[in-house]
Structure 1
Amino acid sequence: MGQPLFKEIKLKFHSTPESSVSVELDKLTIIIGPNNTGKSTLLSEIRSAISDRGYSAEESVVLERCLPRVLNSEEADKLVSRFRHDRDYSRGSDMYYYGIAESDRNQSHSHHRLVEAFTNENAWERKERQFTYITNLMVKMLDGQSRLSIINDAPLGDLRDSKSIHSLKNAFLADSLDEVNAYIHEAFDAYLAVTNVTNAGSAVAFMSNESPLSVGVNPKLQDRTTIGFFANRKKCVEAKSQSDGTKAFLGLLLELFYSPYDTLLIDEPEAFLHPTLAYLLGTAVGKRSSEKQIICSTHSVDFLRGCLDSVKELNLLRLTRDRGGSVHVFEDYQLRKMQNAPLLRTASVMNGLFFNAAVVVEGDSDEAFYREINYRMADSSECQAINNALFITSHGVDSEYKIISILRKAGIPAAAIVDFDFLGKSVENFGNLLSSANINGVLYDSFKSQKLTVSKAVSSVDEKKGGLIDLSPSDAQAVSNLIDGLSNYGIFVVPNGSLESWLNNLGVKGPKEQWLGLMFEKLGDDPVSSSYVHPGKGDVWEFLEKIAVWTSNPNRKGMYWSIVV
């Protein structure tokens, strides 16, 4: 990593200091969470904390404090010297500091005062003018619109100045475009060339299916003003004329590889991009995070996977609106587990990080049926559906707890649906599910005791068709109490058997392997048809509505609040 400004950030999701969470920024940091939870706000507040002299931590929404990386005198001297122009613009006997932007030459600051500022943590609090001036040249915020303009023509200015705030000019001056063109060729089967052939005063980006001169190599400066720079001039198009997705991808690549800024704050880098390009961009961000300090917010699991595949470790922060705002910090090994463990990978558990809720079921038929029922409920004003939920199959009830645990620790309300016979089976599996729902201590023992008490009664009924209705009144009451208690913690038991017990009024009969297809036929596919089944009262509609109420309750039981996973 180059010269990162930030050592650590402290986040606040309540107003009291004891609720803050600290995150060290020594690696790539990714911020995720539903809309309007503060991801973009956090990036903006980080930017303001070092550049806005009017910034107030008390008035911030997410950020409590940015802790600087305080430099020693030698490091600070090297940093300040790095920003000096190649040519001497000294005034009098003192040495003056100049920004790398040509338009900033009227700004001059004493070299030694800048060195002192970067060796003093209090400079961040005072935000003296000379300090914020240089920090502004070290940190750049990239949002959806700003990245589209990066590919626009950049003024070349005085070519003796070897540094520029314009990444396109820096690309023009670079010895090679090999690394960038490797990504561009994979993405678009094209190459990027940067030249001033059409505008002597500006660097202009072109794209072509044929590589200029040799793949990815910028020719010497004296050769860049000739039409011969291109293998076939007619096949070249100006990059700025391309789609928003292409411009966004190119712009971010230029910033990653040729920007002079040490720290990049990137808001939704996947904006405008197809999922495959989001993944590819993630690999580029991951690679460059060893050279730059990078903090991103994203809604894309593909971008996250790209980052994971290209770094040894990263930070993942998930912000939610629960309890007035909470943050869950994921350790890298948990993400690797999601990505690499066969059960979690095949169940696409990582996708759950980008949903408001998850519903974990035993098998594929359960997943398809409950998802369809929830879809119909969402399309109706008569009941409450589970909002923005991912339905996940665990490939067996014995594995549900593994998925429930990892998602809840990420702050995602993950509900478990189990068949009635689960209450009569393995005590160990029952205990695992309780633990995954953060049920422990006396409460854990109480639930386990209730399970042992009703186990014999539950085991006496038909494994797939039996339920509460087949029990004696006293046994049914005891089992019902257990079911109600578990539902408070997001564990939902099918009260009258299994999947095939739902919607008996439709008269669906047949072997289990045929039941789902027959049920879908009965449900219908035309909402305006009289035979189409709309949500009603009781039955599976009421069952899923209970799950919806639990997942939407910000104070739901069974979660892990404000933790590092």
Structure 2
Amino acid sequence: MSGGYISKITFNNNQSVEINANDIVVFVGANNVGKSQTLKDIYKLCDRKVPTMVVEDIDIVKYDVDLDKFLPTISHIKNMGAYKEFSGMGFYFNSYSVQDYAKEKRYGQIRDIFVAYLDTMNRLSICNPPELISRNAEKRHPIHYAAFNGKYRIWLSENFKKAFGKDLIPFTQNGSNIPLCIGDVVKFDTEFDDEQLRQEAYSEILETYKQVQDQGDGIKSFTGILLYLMLDYYSTFLIDEPESFLHPPQANIMGRIIGETLQADQQAFISTHSEEIIKGLLEVCPDRIKIVRIKREGDYNSISVLDNEKFSEIWNDPLLKYSNIMTSLFHKEVMLCESDSDCKMYSVIEHHLKYKVGKYSETLFIHCGGKHRMAKIASALRSLDIDVKLIPDLDVLNDECIFKGIATSFDVDWESIKKDYNIIASNLHSSKEAVDKNKLLGMVSQIVNESENPNLSLKEINTIKAELKTESKWEALKRNGITALPSGDATVAFQRLDQVLRNAGIFIVPVGELECFVKQVGGHGPDWVNKVLETYPDLDNEVYDEIKKFITQVCCEHL
């Protein structure tokens, strides 16, 4: 059953987000930007229009619901003569409120039968055992459903077992209340003379099991979310930091469970700091996810939305799917690099520079697995208003298609830089980029004919090798950096181009590639980084001067 859905959220800066009836909206952002407050505001505004902090207002589409049939199934009803009082899990209202529901734009005082607000306190407290009721009485607590309906009990136990490896069993024979027991499903190999004896033996076993309300906050928080999700009459779930108290694998499982459980007429709004929650959701329902990143700007909040199409573009790339791309949603600044070794070395230097001025790093370094993925990732992250900078090697200029994609992903007008790019590219062509077959054949024939020795000498072999060897000015450029650019037009064109790129957030490595910053150590990749740090453990050593100068330019706003 669904009472309706939230169709639009308007924030305090007048930005708005359209919401579908089955959307799972995930609020992300750095610390203290208003993610949790957004959920509180939405919850309040579902009742009535009141002063709020982050969300200015919401629109609700309400369905025509037969409350006369529905309310007796979840409420204790008290007849007061002229009116009736309804009370149940988290709600209390009278029949006048029911009448108002049909006339008002919002849910009013009956909000809590349609909207579940799962903050930390609610999740922990819902695990306390409810009072024992008769099987056919109105169910005023989620555990009542699990205790007297096999569908709910099995669902609850199976999903709990995914994270903790044990079943969850309602202990209906406990006495005055119904706790949830943690353990294996009880199965008897022996026969009993009567059912009473079997139930007594069953109760004795459950009495030895641990109970949820006595466990740590991780188990209670996880169970609390399950207990709410289990109730299919809610239209909207507001879940604040579902990863709280959970290890990353459990958070991933929770994301999956939320995505698998929500029906087509249910929506959820989630605030989170966890990439695992997001990954879990994306594994099972990527088409329902809407990422809303919140930023605080003084007294106002700004938002940016990553739609399903852009998220799918990243998620369908296997290398990116299992990277730490999602972590960028929770950082103030992101640096995109070509490789993991680039990330490691640049992040070490950036952390050191900030430490020297009494600051902590809030920058995330992400490797893109090569230049060809950089534009795709940059576009997605920039659409969420994340402060993104990109550090490609100098030979990024060697492929016009890739370079153009990167430039345009940072909103650089290609036509404004095309002329300078062509000047650079045309000056880097070499006559030795290819081997002339006729010239090679003539040279080899001459060597063979002039020598009476049946075997080629070392000198002759080297002469042939030299003719076969090609030399690209691009390779020299990557080895030696911008100093290898031809003097004149090419150098001037690069200076103009580089300034435009830096203003946009693209910082080409001026020495060619990472390894050229510290030429005192040979090698390449992760082994080179490790060897450099082992050989020169003091980051104030002068060998790091060039790379520190470069990273200072990249991070100038934050140093």
TM-score normalised over the length of structure 2: 0.80
The reply to whether residue 118 of structure 1 matches residue 101 of structure 2 is: yes
Partner of 1:66: 58
Output the CA distance in 1 between the equivalents of 2:511 and 2:91.
75
Output the CA distance in 2 between the equivalents of 1:434 and 1:168.
56
Query: By how many angstroms is 1:188 displaced?
Result: 1.7
Question: Does structure 2 retain, via aligned residues, the 8 Å contact 1:143–1:267?
Answer: yes
Partner of 1:289: 262
Question: Does structure 2 retain, via aligned residues, the 8 Å contact 1:447–1:482?
Answer: yes
Partner of 1:47: 43
Output the CA distance in 2 between the equivalents of 1:204 and 1:403.
48
Query: By how many angstroms is 1:458 displaced?
Result: 5.9
1:171 counterpart letter in structure 2: A
- Partner of 2:396: helix, strand, or coil? helix
Query: By how many angstroms is 1:274 displaced?
Result: 0.9
Output the CA distance in 2 between the equivalents of 1:535 and 1:379.
18
Output the CA distance in 2 between the equivalents of 1:513 and 1:183.
41
The reply to whether residue 203 of structure 1 matches residue 178 of structure 2 is: yes
- Deviating more after overlay: 425-434 vs 322-331: 322-331
Question: Does structure 2 retain, via aligned residues, the 8 Å contact 1:468–1:480?
Answer: no
Output the CA distance in 2 between the equivalents of 1:5 and 1:103.
18
- Partner of 2:273: helix, strand, or coil? coil
Pick aligned residue for 2:304 from 312, 315, 328: 328
Query: By how many angstroms is 1:196 displaced?
Result: 4.2
2:86 counterpart letter in structure 1: Y
Question: Does structure 2 retain, via aligned residues, the 8 Å contact 1:99–1:137?
Answer: no
Residues 146-157 of structure 1: pairs in structure 2 closer than 5 A: 146-156=122-132
CA displacement 1:494-525 (0-9 Å, x = unmatched): 11221122145xx223567853332122232x
Output the CA distance in 1 between the equivalents of 2:77 and 2:125.
32
Pick aligned residue for 1:499 from 491, 511, 514: 514
Relative to structure 1, the CA distance from residue 435 to residue 190 in structure 2 (aligned partners, 3 Å threshold; closer, same or farther) is: same
Partner of 2:480: 466
Partner of 1:488: 503
Output the CA distance in 1 between the equivalents of 2:338 and 2:396.
11
- Partner of 2:26: helix, strand, or coil? strand
Residues 169-318 of structure 1: pairs in structure 2 closer than 5 A: 169-176=144-151, 177-198=153-174, 200-208=175-183, 210-213=184-187, 227-230=200-203, 232-233=205-206, 235-258=208-231, 261-290=234-263, 292-311=266-285, 312-318=287-293
1:467 counterpart letter in structure 2: G
Question: Does structure 1 retain, via aligned residues, the 8 Å contact 2:76–2:138?
Answer: no
Output the CA distance in 2 between the equivalents of 1:282 and 1:510.
42
Query: By how many angstroms is 1:212 displaced?
Result: 3.3
Output the CA distance in 2 between the equivalents of 1:287 and 1:143.
21
CA displacement 1:209-253 (0-9 Å, x = unmatched): x21359xxxxxxx98995433473464112111121111111111
Output the CA distance in 2 between the equivalents of 1:271 and 1:301.
13
Question: Does structure 2 retain, via aligned residues, the 8 Å contact 1:171–1:258?
Answer: no
Partner of 2:555: 548
Output the CA distance in 2 between the equivalents of 1:303 and 1:32.
11
Pick aligned residue for 1:453 from 397, 419, 423: 423
Output the CA distance in 2 between the equivalents of 1:390 and 1:183.
34
Output the CA distance in 1 between the equivalents of 2:399 and 2:214.
64
Output the CA distance in 1 between the equivalents of 2:248 and 2:267.
24
Partner of 1:142: 118
Partner of 2:494: 479
2:553 counterpart letter in structure 1: K
- Partner of 2:173: helix, strand, or coil? coil
Partner of 1:12: 11
Larger Rg: 2
Output the CA distance in 2 between the equivalents of 1:241 and 1:89.
34
Output the CA distance in 2 between the equivalents of 1:451 and 1:427.
9
Query: By how many angstroms is 1:477 displaced?
Result: 4.5
- Partner of 1:37: helix, strand, or coil? coil
Question: Does structure 1 retain, via aligned residues, the 8 Å contact 2:29–2:273?
Answer: yes
Cα RMSD of the aligned pairs, angstroms, is 3.3
Partner of 1:391: 365
Query: By how many angstroms is 1:473 displaced?
Result: 7.1
Relative to structure 1, the CA distance from residue 206 to residue 512 in structure 2 (aligned partners, 3 Å threshold; closer, same or farther) is: closer
Question: Does structure 2 retain, via aligned residues, the 8 Å contact 1:420–1:498?
Answer: yes
Query: By how many angstroms is 1:138 displaced?
Result: 2.6
Output the CA distance in 1 between the equivalents of 2:90 and 2:37.
31
Question: Does structure 2 retain, via aligned residues, the 8 Å contact 1:4–1:262?
Answer: yes
Output the CA distance in 2 between the equivalents of 1:435 and 1:372.
29
Output the CA distance in 2 between the equivalents of 1:137 and 1:68.
15
Output the CA distance in 1 between the equivalents of 2:396 and 2:161.
53
Pick aligned residue for 1:363 from 339, 346, 355: 339
- Partner of 2:179: helix, strand, or coil? strand
Partner of 1:3: 2
Output the CA distance in 1 between the equivalents of 2:21 and 2:391.
39
Question: Does structure 2 retain, via aligned residues, the 8 Å contact 1:363–1:393?
Answer: yes
Query: By how many angstroms is 1:488 displaced?
Result: 1.2
1:12 counterpart letter in structure 2: F
Output the CA distance in 1 between the equivalents of 2:238 and 2:20.
15
1:205 counterpart letter in structure 2: L
The reply to whether residue 108 of structure 1 matches residue 107 of structure 2 is: no
User: Is there any run of 5+ residues in structure 1 with no aligned partner, and where?
Assistant: 125-130, 215-221, 525-530, 554-565
2:224 counterpart letter in structure 1: G
Q: How many residues align?
A: 503
Output the CA distance in 1 between the equivalents of 2:377 and 2:428.
26
Q: Percent of pairs identical after alignment?
A: 23
Query: By how many angstroms is 1:175 displaced?
Result: 2.9
Output the CA distance in 2 between the equivalents of 1:155 and 1:315.
39
CA displacement 1:176-215 (0-9 Å, x = unmatched): 41111112222222111112433x222212112x21359x
CA displacement 1:527-552 (0-9 Å, x = unmatched): xxxx45469995222322333246x6
Question: Does structure 1 retain, via aligned residues, the 8 Å contact 2:115–2:234?
Answer: yes
Query: By how many angstroms is 1:447 displaced?
Result: 1.8
Query: By how many angstroms is 1:273 displaced?
Result: 0.5
The reply to whether residue 522 of structure 1 matches residue 535 of structure 2 is: yes
Relative to structure 1, the CA distance from residue 50 to residue 398 in structure 2 (aligned partners, 3 Å threshold; closer, same or farther) is: closer
Relative to structure 1, the CA distance from residue 400 to residue 163 in structure 2 (aligned partners, 3 Å threshold; closer, same or farther) is: same
Higher helix share: 2
Output the CA distance in 1 between the equivalents of 2:203 and 2:492.
82
- Partner of 1:321: helix, strand, or coil? strand
Output the CA distance in 2 between the equivalents of 1:182 and 1:24.
29
Partner of 2:546: 539
Question: Does structure 2 retain, via aligned residues, the 8 Å contact 1:11–1:65?
Answer: yes
Partner of 1:127: none
Question: Does structure 1 retain, via aligned residues, the 8 Å contact 2:340–2:526?
Answer: no
Question: Does structure 2 retain, via aligned residues, the 8 Å contact 1:377–1:535?
Answer: no
Output the CA distance in 2 between the equivalents of 1:514 and 1:152.
54
Question: Does structure 2 retain, via aligned residues, the 8 Å contact 1:84–1:99?
Answer: no
1:286 counterpart letter in structure 2: G
CA displacement 1:248-302 (0-9 Å, x = unmatched): 1111111111476443211000100011111111122112211643221111111
Output the CA distance in 2 between the equivalents of 1:331 and 1:65.
22
Question: Does structure 1 retain, via aligned residues, the 8 Å contact 2:77–2:86?
Answer: no
Output the CA distance in 2 between the equivalents of 1:223 and 1:380.
74
Residues 372-451 of structure 1: pairs in structure 2 closer than 5 A: 372-381=348-357, 387-423=361-397, 425-440=398-413, 444-451=414-421
- Partner of 1:155: helix, strand, or coil? coil
